[in-house]
Structure 1
Amino acid sequence: MTLYENWTAVPHGARGSAVALGNFDGVHLGHAHLLKSLHAARPDLPLGVVTFEPHPREFFRPQDPPVRLMLPPVRARFLHELGVKQIFQLPFDADFSHMPPERFVEDVLHHGLGVQHVACGPDFAFGHRRAGDIGYLGHRLETFGIGLTIVPPLTDISGPFSSSRIRRLLQEGYPERAAEELGRPWFITGAVAHGDKRGRLLGFPTANIPLGRHVEPARGVYAATIRHPDGRISSGVANIGRRPTINDGQESRLEVHLFDVSEDLYGQVLEVSLHKLLREERRFDGLDALKAQIAEDASQARAVLSPAI
């Protein structure tokens, strides 16, 4: 798989692909359905995606809390696993946001990327102020001899699979339901940073990982698994929140205690998958009560994870 970030300098050998359009945040089962449908329509062409960085919502509303289900390197990894050979990751900046729909089709898709076929969902909109819809897209593509496949969304009893629906499930404290739509547990990835060593004093040392640009799920304690850089999987108990008992400030953080692991983790990039919310964040009457609750949380997490480990 090859990543291209400059649509004005795509080499000749990367032209002529069939591409799916979208943000692909989370690379969920709906995205897999879109890519499978595109490949079925044009199995003779290399499979690619056209996506954007940063996410348009991050660009237009930078003051809002983070929304990302995954960061670009993780997105690329899962797209590759779905058979994508080329990722055209277009910089979403002020100039791009003002590009008229006709310029996106002609300058970017046709001249810039040289695509031969395009796929998207029925609600795809593009161009300045989202002025272009699929009717316009199909008409303009046809003038350049480019095919278009409109793929109906993958749905279940709750409606279409979507990144926004998965974000909402995480924010409401249902990571197991989010996993059903992702096709895998949702995880936060990041480098372990130095904390205040408070967990060590309580008898439960934790790895501290900034949430960064990841969407913040419901605050509380989770049963979690942790993937190490070498591929090992550990189980543990994770806390996401502001630690109200310790009263250490306003910034939420991810802290995870790994069961039966005593190695130095500082600087290592870990993937922490959330499996089940054990309890919501709350304040305790002192550190002794907190320590007792953490022990209970760890016991519950082991019970939840035992079938999966």
Structure 2
Amino acid sequence: MNVTKTLILTIIAIFVLAAGLSLYTVNETQRAIVTRLGQLLEDKDGNVKVFEPGLHIKMPFIDQIKFLDKRLQTTELSETRMPTKENEFLIVSLFTKWHIRDFKKFYNASGTILNADHKIKEQLDEVLRTEVAKRKIDDLVWEERDILMDRIQSAANEMAKTLGVEVVDARVVRLDLPDSIQQKVFTRMETNIRKLAAERRTAGERKAREIVAEAYKDANVIRAKAKEEGLRTQGEGDAKATRIYAEAYKQAPEFYLFYRRLEAYRETFKGNNDILVLKPDDDFFKYFRRGSTKSKAQTLNSGAEEKRAG
């Protein structure tokens, strides 16, 4: 009986030991890759096998499990003093956000998150020092900060290709001056700002003059076209009026002459202080006189003379 119990316990112990050596768990924040006799396990397409979170089986003593953090990582370069082109120092802080994208390339290039962080920091530090050394303080602080940011982003993307990671963000978060040179740089910046403001003001005034001159030219062209159109319309109106007068004269010559004479009276006497000296029997007042002895023929002749005079 004791022998049987001992055998059972031995079998259970062996089973537990085998299970402990053959099973492993991948956490939710991790991914796992397996090396068998020093070689990464790959699928039939040649891609490295990446094991998702859960319980997995391995071959004891042959397989080695490599756990890699899948979460977003942060690499910081904090308050580093870097010389500029003028051999004056800036205090620079930089950070990158990245995560593993290609597990095979990452394993071969770095192996661990700590090693990758160190390599990223070294490469970005080198790029940043090179770019800062090319430029003056005024340029970095005032005009070329965006250019520096673009260069850092480009360098981070190139570095990511070799390390098997994906860079989500990379930027300079601080670009400060040491206390010893702050006032001098601020004075230079103020001078540059005033100069730039004067240049832009001059350019704006010149542009304003150009716009006003162009507006005057356009206005003159519009007025000339309007005047031309007005004269043409007036000429057409006068021609039409002349045709209407001629047709009216043909239909009722005597009434037409009477109407024209009334128009002449209205124009002559419309002023309060106007004075007109004529003989009482002048032909101009013939429609004011009663019992005119002129014949119809004389009236027509007088009307014809007025028409020729008009």
Q: Specify the TM-score bucket, using the shorter chain as the normaliser.
A: under 0.3
Greater helix content: 2
TM-score normalised to the size of structure 2?
Answer: 0.19
TM-score normalised to the size of structure 1?
Answer: 0.19
More relative contact order, 1 or 2 (CA 8 Å, 6+ apart): 1
Greater strand content: 1
- Considering only CA atoms, is the larger Rg found in Structure 1 or Structure 2? 2
